[in-house]
Amino acid sequence: MQACTQCPEKDRARKRRALDRERLWRARKETWEENLALRRQLADVHHQLRNLKENYTEELSFWRRRALELQLELTAVSPAGAKSNGDALLMSASQEDSQRQAKQVAKQLEEIESKTAFTKASKEEAEARLAQSELLSEQLKDQASQQAVELLTREGLGPAETFARSLGEVEAPTLRWAQHQIEMRWRQLVPS
């Protein structure tokens, strides 16, 4: 009679284990999907940051070249530059044009300097976003580790019980590897 009463208990225990495996599988799947989505977001942020850095360096070099060109124009247009070239007679006739050009060049130079400052501010902002994304990456790693620990230790089971319960889900090559590792560790601990 005991065999008959144990059969329904074994069936219930088997069903409970199957349900536990199902729940564990679903929890793992949700965790993997969440981690995958977060990793994709992080990759997108890194990609955007890389593009911002490239744009920053290109824009900065452009504005530096332009500033140098304008400074050269400004020195070429200035009265001292005209006198040094021996054009003193032409200077009195075109002095107004030279002053107007000098003002225009100075204005363009100011615009370039303000754009350079804006570009530098954009770079600093991008660097701050990079630091934040690196922090997010570390948090994701910590979260993944914590989730793994929670999956392995839920229901109040210790490491040995969790390992024993998961044996049914592990493939044969993995089991052979684990057995080999245990045997090697045992040989290290127990001197011959």
Q: What percent of the chain has pLDDT over 70?
A: 82
Q: CA 152, CA 143: separation in Å to the nearest integer?
A: 14
If pLDDT is split at 50, 70 and 90, which confidence band does 172 have?
A: confident
pLDDT 10s digits, 107-139: 888 888 888 888 888 888 888 888 898 898 888
If pLDDT is split at 50, 70 and 90, which confidence band does 1 have?
A: very low
If pLDDT is split at 50, 70 and 90, which confidence band does 6 have?
A: low
Q: CA 64, CA 87: separation in Å to the nearest integer?
A: 30
Q: In this predicted structure, what is the pLDDT of residue 5?
A: 56
CB 99 within 8 A of CB 137: no
List of long-range contacts for 76-79, beta carbons under 8 Å, 24+ apart: 77/101, 77/102, 77/105, 78/102
Determine phi and psi for 170, rounding to 5 degrees: -90, 145
Asked whether the predicted pLDDT for residue 2 surpasses 50, the reply is: no
Asked whether the predicted pLDDT for residue 22 surpasses 50, the reply is: yes
Determine phi and psi for 154, rounding to 5 degrees: -75, 165
In 3D space, the residue among 143, 145, 147, 125 whose CA is nearest the CA of residue 135 turns out to be 143
Asked whether the predicted pLDDT for residue 105 surpasses 70, the reply is: yes
Determine phi and psi for 136, rounding to 5 degrees: -60, -40
The amino acid sitting at 23 is R
pLDDT 10s digits, 27-58: 888 888 888 888 888 888 888 888 888 888 88
